[in-house]
């Protein structure tokens, strides 16, 4: 029987990875059952490895290595994951390369078509099935009966299917945090924080037509949103505070607030135990914020909440309905005004541009909404709006496919070129819309106070960024307000810069050093 040595590698991310480097929770979760089964698991996070990670990876591979796992989101990480696969194969072609993560969950076949960088893809929740796959590899068996595995047999690619019937829950005591020796390189925007990501709830009860979650959770039996027990969440927080010095908890829930009481109970318990943490929530919806009283928001702020990510999406009631957001533009404006009374909590808004059937006028309404939100609430944050891309399994994908003959990329090369800041498939765009999207994208960096408020960094990179912000901000606002899309050289400069930064990141790990 072969040995139990497994190397788990985290690739660099796209442009967003230059300012946010969170711990690779994906790899910790995927390794949980292996560790319990006495596998010797090593994590190599290329984003934070000092020196030459390529050499480190090659050095780690030895005769005992069973496989190398790599986690990839769609987009730029794929290009890097391919390089990782190729390095492994060059070092020892007998070592299996296993891909997991969101891209493997949604498009496993695209991965297996690249025979020089992947042997297996694991779709969906992996802790259990990755152990099953490793056991099969040790015994020299083909994974014919392991659900969620895509694998190659000669020229044929087999997709085993077998979607998850329940959410994956891993007891915090089983998350192998010890596999990461040093948590100090993780964080975001050069802030001095020890961020630990965790779930307080699993799944999402909503059916947004652009989001992959309804498709991902379609096979889950029973409730589509399950809150974890307060005591489990707070014990988990206490554990990471005491053992790893965490001082910031980032809840990566799809949605934390379907039950307002769920979050209230958690913050009450944090308060009772006097845990010294600040909090960030990645999933909050307008229809939920509508139900929050000022007293509730004040309590959230008192508990140390400093950011809530909110899907505003767009400034047209017709489109909000199409997206199934259960809210109107007036609701967004009202909620924002309410949030402005609690400036300790940054209301951070996500937007989407270029939806199928969206008109240029509707896009301009989104622009108007963005500016209005900033005017009403100077401490709010407008995330760079996402150019809409249809995701298989979503309702809007069906529309884009039927009405416009859209088809998704089917090679890893094409998938790795898919980036928020990049170009998009725009066959349903009205004339002038592509340029307007670019204007909105570049201006979004400057229309609020994000650069000043969020970049405490003292390195040269952040100093230059703050200077650019000061100089360009009035121009950005004027251009956006007046829809001046002509000669948008700053957008192209931005494209070059984001491309260069992503590449530098891959080469030097830290761009701001
Ligand atoms: C943190 C985070 C980031 C961080 C990066 C991650 C980091 N560690 O620093 C940052 C901020 C950089 C980021 C950026 C983006 N993100 Co993001 N992000 C997340 C978030 C909130 C948490 C990821 C996480 O740790 N999850 C917890 C782990 C346990 O779950 P998991 O990754 O799915 O892992 C499980 C399985 O997938 C599998 N698995 C994972 N890896 C591996 C590896 C092996 C070998 C195996 C066997 C199994 C396996 O096992 C795990 C346990 O079951 C998720 C949402 C979420 N709740 O997951 C979105 C999410 C991953 N992001 C998403 C998106 C859309 C983006 C952006 C495009 C957003 C944007 N507008 O900029 C960018 C693009 C990044 C890029 N292309 O470069 C999508 C993924 C879409 C896709 N198809 O890839 C998600 C799912 C959110 C969503 N529902 O839309 N993100």
Q: How far apart are CA 31 and CA 498, in angstroms?
A: 32
Q: Is there an atom of ligand 1 within 6 Å of 128 CB?
A: no
Specify the CATH number for the domain of residue 84.
3.40.50.280
Q: What is the mean pLDDT of residues 178-190?
A: 88
pTM above 0.85, yes or no: yes
**Does the beta carbon of 100 lie inside 6 Å of ligand 1?**
yes
Question: Cα of 101 to ligand 1 centre, how many Å?
Answer: 7
Atom of ligand 1 nearest to the CA of 130: 47
Query: What CA–CA distance (Å, rounded) separates 388 from 370?
Result: 17
202 C-beta closer than 6 A to ligand 1: no
**Which among 260, 257, 259, 264 is positioned nearest to 283, based on CA atoms?**
257
Determine the residue of 13, 20, 26 to mutate for testing ligand 1's pocket, defined as the one with the most ligand atoms within 8 A of the Cβ atom.
Answer: 26
Q: Is the pLDDT confidence value at 506 over 70?
A: no
* pLDDT tier for residue 152 given thresholds of 50, 70 and 90: very high
pLDDT at residue 509 is higher than 60: no
Q: Is residue 511 pLDDT above 60, yes or no?
A: no
| Whether residues 84 and 213 fall in one domain | no
Nearest-CA residue for atom 31 of ligand 1: 26
Burial (CB count within 10 angstroms: exposed 0-12, middle 13-18, buried 19+), residue 503: middle
Residue 9 lies in a domain: yes
The share of the chain scoring above pLDDT 90, in percent, equals: 65
* CA of 386, closest atom in ligand 1: 71
Task: Read off the tokens for 18.
Answer: 């230059």
402 shares a domain with 352: yes
Is pLDDT of 379 > 70? Answer: yes
Say how far apart CA 278 and CA 472 lie, in whole Å. Answer: 32
Q: Is the CB of 85 under 6 A from ligand 1?
A: no
Give mean pLDDT, residues 20-47.
96
Q: How far away, in angstroms, is 371 Cα from ligand 1 center?
A: 29
- Domain stops at, among 397, 431, 452: 452
pLDDT reported for residue 283? 93
The number of distinct structural domains making up the chain is 2
Same domain, 80 and 32: yes
**Ligand 1 atom at minimum distance from 23 CA:** 8
Closest by Cα among 305, 322, 306 to 314: 322
Say if residue 417 is exposed, middle or buried (CB neighbours under 10 Å; 0-12, 13-18, 19+).
middle
Average of pLDDT values for 294-316?
Answer: 96
Q: Which of 16, 47, 73 to mutate to test the pocket of ligand 1 (most atoms within 8 A of CB)?
A: 73
Higher pLDDT, 485 or 329: 329
Instruction: Decide: 86 in ligand 1 pocket, CB within 6 A.
Output: no
Ligand 1 centre to CA of 154 (Å) is: 31
Instruction: Work out the percent of the chain whose per-residue pLDDT is above 70.
Output: 94
**Which among 101, 207, 394, 440 is the best mutation to test ligand 1's pocket, defined by most ligand atoms within 8 Å of the CB?**
101
Q: pLDDT per residue over 158-181, tens digit each?
A: 999 877 889 999 999 999 999 999
Tell which residue, 325, 331, 320, 498, has the closest CA to residue 421.
Answer: 498
Ligand 1 center from residue 6 Cα (angstroms): 21
Indicate whether residue 14 lines ligand 1 (CB < 6 A). Answer: yes
pLDDT (average), residues 138-163:
92
Pocket of ligand 1 contains residue 511 by CB under 6 Å: no
Rounded CA separation 34/6 (Å): 9
CB 200 within 8 A of CB 167: no
The answer for 162, left when phi > 0, alpha when psi is -120 to 50, beta otherwise, is left
- Tell me, what's the pLDDT at 336? 98
Any domain includes 69: yes
Last residue of a domain, one of 434, 452, 470: 452
Q: Tell me the CA–centroid distance for residue 239 and ligand 1, in Å.
A: 23
Round to whole Å and give the CA distance between 372 and 471.
22
- In this prediction, residue 40 has a pLDDT band, given cuts at 50, 70 and 90, of very high
Does residue 500 lie within any of the structural domains? no
CB atoms within 10 A of CB 467: 11
- Nearest CA among 51, 101, 48 for reference residue 78: 101
Residue 505: pLDDT band with limits 50, 70, 90: low
Instruction: Clarify whether residues 256 and 368 are in a common domain.
Output: yes
**Residues 67, 108 within the same domain:** yes
In a domain, 393, yes or no: yes
Q: Count Cβ atoms below 10 Å from residue 389 Cβ, excluding itself.
A: 22
Q: Are residues 220 and 314 in the same domain?
A: yes
**What mean pLDDT comes out for the span 8-29?**
89
- Name the DSSP class of 388: P
Torsion region of 31: left, alpha or beta (phi above 0 gives left; psi -120 to 50 gives alpha) = alpha
Instruction: Give residue for tokens 């390529």.
Output: 54
Whether 296 and 406 share a structural domain: yes
Is ligand 1 within 6 A of the CB of residue 22?
yes
Distance, CA of 383 to CA of 374 (rounded, Å): 12
* 193 and 153 together in one domain: no
Q: Could you tell me the CATH number of the domain that includes residue 198? A: 3.20.20.70
DSSP state of 192: -
Do 197 and 148 belong to one domain?
no
The ligand 1 atom at the shortest distance from the C-alpha of residue 125 is: 53
The answer to whether the CB of 493 is under 6 A from ligand 1 is no
Q: What is the mean pLDDT of the chain?
A: 90
- Ligand 1 atom closest to the Cα of residue 13 is 78
At residue 381, the pLDDT reads 94
> Of 305, 268, 310, 307, whose CA–CA distance to 289 is shortest?
310
CA of 368 to the centre of ligand 1 (A): 31
pLDDT at 411 over 80: yes
Please give the pLDDT value at position 510: 43
Q: Which atom of ligand 1 is nearest to the CA of 282?
A: 21
Distance 471 CA to ligand 1 centre (A): 34
pLDDT exceeds cutoff 50 at 512: no
Ligand 1 mutation target, pool 44, 102, 146, 210, most atoms within 8 A of CB: 102
Closest CA to 285 of 343, 327, 330: 327
Residue 389 banded pLDDT, cuts 50, 70, 90: confident
Q: Can you list the pairs that 459-463 forms with residues at least 24 positions away whose Cβ atoms lie under 8 Å?
A: 459/190, 459/512, 459/513, 460/512, 461/511, 461/512, 462/189, 462/190, 462/512
**Which pLDDT score is estimated for 257?**
98
Encode pLDDT of 56-91 as tens digits: 999 999 989 999 999 998 888 999 999 999 999 999
> On the CB side of 257, how many CA atoms lie within 13 Å of its CA?
21
Identify whether 112 is part of a domain. Answer: yes
HEC per residue, 472-503? HHHHHHHHHHCCCCCCCHHHHHHHHHHHHHHH
**In-domain check, residue 285:** yes
> Measured from the CB, is residue 336 less than 6 Å from ligand 1?
no
d(Cα 240, Cα 245) in Å, to the nearest integer? 6
Residue range of the domain that includes 155: 5-159
The reply to whether 133 falls in a domain is yes
**Last residue in a domain, options 417, 435, 452:** 452
Is the same domain home to 305 and 401? yes
The residues, any chain, with a CB within 8 Å of residue 336's CB and separated by 6 or more, are 347, 373, 376, 377, 380
Residue 58 CA to chain centroid, in angstroms? 28
Which stretch, 74-83, 142-151, 504-513, has highest mean pLDDT?
Answer: 142-151
Is the shortest distance between the CB of 98 and ligand 1 below 6 Å?
Answer: yes
Do the Cβ atoms of 438 and 488 come closer than 8 Å? Answer: yes
Residue 471: count of CB within 10 angstroms of its CB: 10
Distance 488 CA to ligand 1 centre (A): 32
> Per-residue pLDDT tens for 237-270?
999 999 999 999 999 999 999 999 999 999 999 9
Sign of the four-CA dihedral 107, 108, 111, 113 = negative
- Residues 130 and 196 reside in one and the same domain: no
Residue 303 sits in the same domain as residue 439: yes
**Ligand 1 center from residue 337 Cα (angstroms):** 31
Q: Which residues of 337-371 are buried (b: 16+ CB within 10 A; e: fewer)?
A: ebbbebeebbbbbebbbbbbebeeebbbbbbebbb
pLDDT tens digits for range 193-233: 899 999 999 999 999 999 989 988 988 998 999 999 999 99
Residue 129: pLDDT band with limits 50, 70, 90: very high
- The answer as to whether 297 is a domain residue is yes
């Amino acid at each position: 029987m072969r040995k139990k040595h497994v190397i788990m590698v985290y690739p660099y991310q796209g442009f967003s990875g230059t300012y946010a480097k969170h711990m690779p929770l994906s790899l910790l979760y995927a390794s949980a059952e292996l560790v319990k089964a006495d596998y010797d698991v090593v994590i190599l996070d290329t984003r934070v490895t000092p020196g030459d990670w390529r050499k480190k990876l090659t050095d780690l591979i030895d005769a005992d290595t069973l496989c190398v796992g790599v986690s990839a989101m769609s987009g730029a990480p794929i290009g890097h994951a391919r390089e990782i696969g190729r390095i492994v194969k060059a070092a020892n072609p007998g070592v299996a390369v296993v891909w997991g993560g969101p891209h493997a969950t949604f498009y496993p076949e695209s991965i297996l078509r690249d025979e020089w960088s992947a042997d297996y893809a694991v779709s969906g929740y992996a802790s259990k099935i990755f152990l099953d796959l490793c056991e099969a590899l040790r015994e020299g068996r083909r994974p014919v009966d392991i659900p969620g595995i895509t694998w190659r047999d000669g020229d044929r690619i087999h997709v085993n299917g077998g979607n998850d019937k329940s959410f994956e829950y891993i007891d915090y005591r089983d998350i192998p945090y010890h596999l990461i020796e040093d948590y100090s390189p993780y964080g975001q925007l050069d802030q001095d924080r020890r961020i630990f990501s965790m779930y307080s709830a699993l799944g999402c009860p909503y059916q947004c037509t652009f989001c992959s979650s309804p498709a991902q959770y379609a096979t889950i039996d029973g409730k589509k949103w399950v809150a974890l027990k307060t005591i489990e969440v707070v014990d988990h927080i206490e554990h990471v505070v005491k053992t790893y010095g965490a001082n910031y908890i980032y809840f990566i829930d799809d949605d934390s607030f379907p039950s307002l009481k769920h979050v209230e109970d958690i913050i009450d318990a944090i308060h009772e135990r006097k845990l010294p943490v600040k909090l960030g929530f990645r999933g909050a919806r307008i229809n939920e914020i509508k139900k929050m009283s000022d007293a509730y928001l004040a309590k959230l702020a008192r508990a140390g909440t400093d950011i809530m990510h909110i899907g505003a999406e767009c400034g047209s009631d017709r489109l909000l309905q199409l997206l199934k957001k259960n809210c109107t533009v007036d609701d967004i404006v009202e909620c924002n005004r309410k949030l402005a009374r609690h400036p300790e909590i940054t209301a951070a808004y996500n937007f989407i541009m270029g939806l199928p059937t969206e008109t240029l006028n509707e896009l301009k309404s989104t622009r108007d909404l963005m500016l209005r939100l900033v005017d009403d609430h100077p401490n709010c944050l407008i995330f760079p709006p996402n150019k809409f891309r249809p995701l298989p399994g979503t309702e809007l994908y069906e529309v884009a496919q039927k009405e416009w003959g859209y088809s998704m990329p089917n090679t890893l090369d094409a998938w790795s070129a898919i980036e928020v800041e990049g170009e998009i498939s725009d066959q349903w765009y009205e004339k002038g819309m592509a340029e307007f999207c670019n204007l909105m994208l570049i201006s979004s960096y400057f229309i609020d106070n994000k650069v000043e408020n969020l970049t405490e960094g003292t390195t040269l990179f952040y100093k230059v960024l703050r200077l650019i912000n000061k100089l360009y901000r009035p121009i950005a606002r004027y251009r956006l307000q007046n829809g001046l899309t002509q000669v948008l050289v700053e957008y192209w400069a931005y494209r070059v810069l984001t491309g260069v930064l992503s590449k530098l990141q891959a080469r030097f790990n830290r761009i701001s050093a």
